[in-house]
Structure 1
Amino acid sequence: MSAVAKFRSFLIIGADEASGHDGDENRIQFLTINSDGSCVAAHSILVTQGKELDIEGICVEGDLAYVIGSHSSKRKKIKKERNWKENRETFHQDKIEDEVSRDWLFRLRLNEDGKELAKDRISLRGIIYNDPALKAFCGIPSKENGVDIEGLAVKDGWLHVGFRGPVFRDNYVPVLRLRWEEPEQYELLYVRLGGRGIRDLATVADGFLILAGPVGDGTDSYQIYHWNGKDTVPGKDRRPEDMGRLCLLGEIAPPDEDSKAEGLAVLEERQDSWQLVIAYDGAKDQNRLLQRVSISRRKD
């Protein structure tokens, strides 16, 4: 499980691997949220068929749901069953694989029951390849500080695309802010997460919550920040009211050592806290793929 969002009385979940009999179906699944907090599978929507989309982010505003692939490259893992020479060759440049099937952002219009009414798609690959800051990381595998989209949130029609990588010098992490209708008219914002990348974003009334975690396969902890949605890069010509502000809210403890916090959704906003659900990839106990969390508000 790699993404989660709330739509009316449903949770929408997505996976970073394709499913189906032939392994060529990229679906999002709708779960009904019961009064006791449990979730039951309701239905699913086929987002796209073919190679793996690598779904990493889902967000919802009104009757529109957005689903994004990682737009990343990959390198094969070292495996003990291969010989020494084969494993060493995985580090060669010609072993890096571009996965064009991952280069899509989908927009789905839903009815009240969470059924698909219409679907469109765009790619952010051209924007990334031509951006002065991001283009240098396009040929680098995602888990090695290359381009890797994992967070997605929408606020007042503005999409915010969060990157797990790259993480720039001084630990700045990019967030791509754009509108669906004019994606080329984008803005690149930066946040600092202590060397971590963005694992997911979620919209709240006064900004966003950021789920932060390791860029690669490191052992950094998972943290949740509140962000006011503004760029955090300083400058002597910037007014205090224009500055981005981040507040560390706390750390998230995965259910086991193999679990990776990948998705974040807001179930409820309260005066003193947010009621959240965290989605985990790789949890040994399948009953712990989703975790309800209450996190207190703090002043920036």
Structure 2
Amino acid sequence: MHPSNIVLLEFHPERDELCYGKELRDGLSVALRMGSSLWLANDESVSIERLTVCDEDSTGKSSFTRGHRQYALHDYFDLPLPPHGESPDDINEADIEGLACDGKYLWLAGSHSLRRKQPKDGDGIKKAHKRLASVSADGNRYLLGRIPVVPDGDGYTLEKEAVVKDKRRTAAMLRGDCHGNELTALLRQDEHLGPFLAIPGKDNGFDIEGLAVAGKHLLLGLRGPVLRGWAVVVEIALVDDDAPGRLRLAPLDQDGRLYRKHFLDLRGLGIRDLCVQGKDVLVLAGPTMDLDGPVQLLRWRGAAQPGKDTVLAAGALERVLELPFGRGVDHPEGIALFATGKDGAASLLVVHDSASPSRQIGDSTLVADVFTLPRRGRRKGEAS
């Protein structure tokens, strides 16, 4: 399917200092629109980016952005590692793979995954073997937290602390350290997910790549593991801890459970992003391994109001779109509701990892795709 519209994402050409080894526009992992503010992140950075969306051009087929502002995550969180490693070019990335908003806070999720090194061109056999055996846990990847959002014109900005209607809001993150956090410690004992926490994300190991707010709970979509074709969503609730700037897991129900698991038959694909639309959650499904496509957009009905564990067969998921992808480039990685047209039809913004040269304009502009979403049909017996 071809996009119905495009958006020109214009980044400041001198904002790459918090991004490892590539430009911000080359490797966008997540997107979220709030009013005129479009939030984005590169998965090899330790920041999030805000662009301001402007009106469509005269053709009505493209929109553009301006006013790039960068928010360094260390300004809001006490991350376990500093922004830079041994050299200025060595970034201790947060690998942000999830953004969501509940109207009060911007929620962020790092991948929580281990990383295996890749052989480089020119490596001999011995060095290639050594790289493939090197697995690391980058402490900033275990970020799961929130930042207060406050109005800024017709968009939003972030504050470490904010007072809104006499209520104080503060940035905070789940308790953890360089080796994990409270969630990963709990999941290590899980019969389904525990064995995969010791496996790198790109090897079908534990890897968060989607975040959605569902009432007072959070849904964490996993790119991996995929279990016999079934993808996993972990549901949790977070509340303030006694320690400033820290959150802790809270019970989901009267039984005191600290997490739920939802299994979705994506026929071998993993979850690459989640996006709430009304009472539903849109699921971006793609390869769990480092492969080209297929990429699908599916509708998980009622998921924004969870209340019990779910095992959802493939036929129970509504197929919305088949998204295009490239060979080695242009992998759909992040989705966001973008606009609602005069006819009431909603549209979806898609950003890509490994952006192709054809998407890159000048020194700092990137072309992102917008797709018109089919109207949501009602099932027999379903109330409007």
| Same fold flag (TM > 0.5) | yes
Q: Which residue of 1 aligns with 2:77?
A: none
For residues 344 and 234 of structure 2, the distance between their equivalents in structure 1, rounded to whole angstroms, comes to 29
**Counterpart for residue 369 of structure 2:** 291
Structure 1 runs not aligned, ≥5 long: 19-25, 236-242
Quickly say closer, same or farther: Cα 1:43–1:80, change in 2 above 3 A.
Answer: closer
Is residue 134 of structure 1 aligned with residue 193 of structure 2? yes
Partner of 2:104: 63
Contact 2:292 2:327 in 1 (8 A): no
> Which structure 2 segments of 5+ residues have no match?
1-27, 57-62, 75-81, 84-91, 162-169, 175-180, 240-248, 252-257, 380-384
In 2, the alpha carbon distance for the partners of 1:289 and 1:232 equals 37
CA distance in 2, matches of 1:175, 1:219: 23
Give 2:140's aligned residue. Answer: 101
Distance change (3 Å), C-alpha of 1:177 and 1:234: closer
| 1:35 corresponds to | 55
Aligned to 1:152: 211
The equivalent position to 2:93 in structure 1, one of 48, 52, 57, is 52
- The TM-score normalised by the length of structure 2 is 0.68
Cα deviation, residue 41, structure 1: 3.1
Counterparts in 2 of 1:256 and 1:34: CA distance versus 1, 3 Å: farther
In structure 1, how many angstroms separate the alpha carbons of the residues matched to 2:222 and 2:42?
17
1:249/1:297 contact within 8 Å kept: no
Superposed, 1:49-198 pairs within 5 Å as 49-50=82-83, 51-92=92-133, 95-113=134-152, 114-116=157-159, 117=161, 118-122=170-174, 123=181, 124-169=183-228, 171-181=229-239, 182-183=249-250, 185-198=258-271
Return 38-47 or 55-64, whichever deviates more. 38-47
Cα distance in 2, alignment partners of residues 269 and 130 from structure 1: 44
Alpha-carbon distance in 1 for matches of 2:250, 2:316: 25
Aligned residue number for residue 332 of structure 2: 261
Distance 2:327 2:66 in 1: 23
Distance 1:232 1:272 in 2: 31
Q: CA deviation at 1:157?
A: 2.0
TM-score scaled by structure 1? 0.87
1:204 aligned onto 2:263? no
Q: Which has the higher contact order (CA 8 A, sep 6+)?
A: 2
* 1:252-285 deviation digits (Å, cap 9, x = unpaired): 1137751121111112357874311111111122
Report if aligned partners of 2:264, 2:312 keep a CA contact under 8 Å in 1.
Answer: no
- Tell me which residue corresponds to 1:9: 36
Residue 180 to residue 109, structure 1, CA distance change in 2 (3 Å): same
AA at the equivalent of 1:186: Y
Deviation at 1:79, TM superposition (A): 1.6
Q: d(CA) in 2 for partners of 1:223 and 1:234?
A: 16
With 119-128 and 202-211 compared, the bigger mean Cα shift is at 119-128
**Secondary structure class of the residue paired with 1:127:** helix
> Quick one: which amino acid aligns to residue 158 of structure 2?
K
Q: Deviations over 1:44-90 (max 9, x none)?
A: 22223532111111111202101111000011112221101221333
Shift of 1:232: 4.7
Aligned: 1:280 with 2:300? no
Percent identity between the two aligned chains = 29
Deviation at 1:183, TM superposition (A): 4.4
Take 2:227 and 2:367, find their aligned partners in 1: how far apart are those partners? 31
Question: C-alpha separation between the residues in 1 aligned to 2:268 and 2:293?
Answer: 9
Q: CA RMSD in A?
A: 2.3
Give the length in aligned residue pairs: 283
